[in-house]
Amino acid sequence: MIRPAALLLAALAATSALAQETVPASATVDAARAQIEALAAEMDVDGDARITLDELQAAAGQIFPSIDADASDGLTRAEFLGWEFGLAEMAAFRGRTQGYEAAMGMVFDLFDRDGSQGIDAAEFEAAMVESHAYADLDGDAALSAAEFRSNFVVNVALRNALVPQEVLGARRP
């Protein structure tokens, strides 16, 4: 079971660590990675270091209502972008709010399969199932922590959205 309190504590710890002026850019990337890995560990209910489709679907069933702030059984773009997972604050601290909102907006559009400008529970679950299949590079029907971190659709979008400007500048030829 994904424990919202555990996720919140991880987010607060990462965000407060980032609030210090002396935090190097690489630490921000590491903090985001730590949060993603903590989520993967929460999803891995049986502790076998693999996220099965059943585990992901169970997690999706808990995540959806945590995003649905008005309990309308549907997600708006504002709810999706405003989900309190802690990464929006990290993006803001690093001056990457625009990148974060663009990345999460694209994920919202991918999940909104019918183009209704909202995501219902069925769309959310279908998107999570497809994201699982996309991330499962070795085809073993389960995601390792590395597959989840590096290939799960939301994490792919966030990877560059959270990279600090000074790191992006160093990557350009």
Angle made by CA atoms 47, 53, 58, in degrees to the nearest 5:
75
Q: Which residues of the chain have pLDDT under 70?
A: 1-29, 84, 86, 164-173
Note the pLDDT of residue 140: 97
Residue 66 vs residues 46, 108, 170: alpha-carbon distances, Å:
22, 15, 37
Residue 97 C-beta-side C-alpha neighbours within 13 Å: 5
Say if residues 91 and 99 touch (Cβ distance below 8 Å). Answer: yes
What confidence score (pLDDT) does residue 62 get? Answer: 94
E-assigned strand segments in 28-141: 51-52, 74-75, 119-120
Contact yes or no for 17/61 (Cβ under 8 A): no
Q: Please tell me the predicted confidence (pLDDT) of residue 170.
A: 58
Instruction: Tell me what pLDDT residue 158 has.
Output: 84
In this structure, the number of other CB atoms found within 10 A of the CB of residue 109 comes to 14
Burial classification of residue 124, based on how many CB atoms lie within 10 Å of its CB (0-12 exposed, 13-18 middle, 19 or more buried): buried
Q: Which pLDDT tens digit goes with each residue over 30-72?
A: 777 888 888 899 999 999 999 999 999 999 999 999 999 999 9
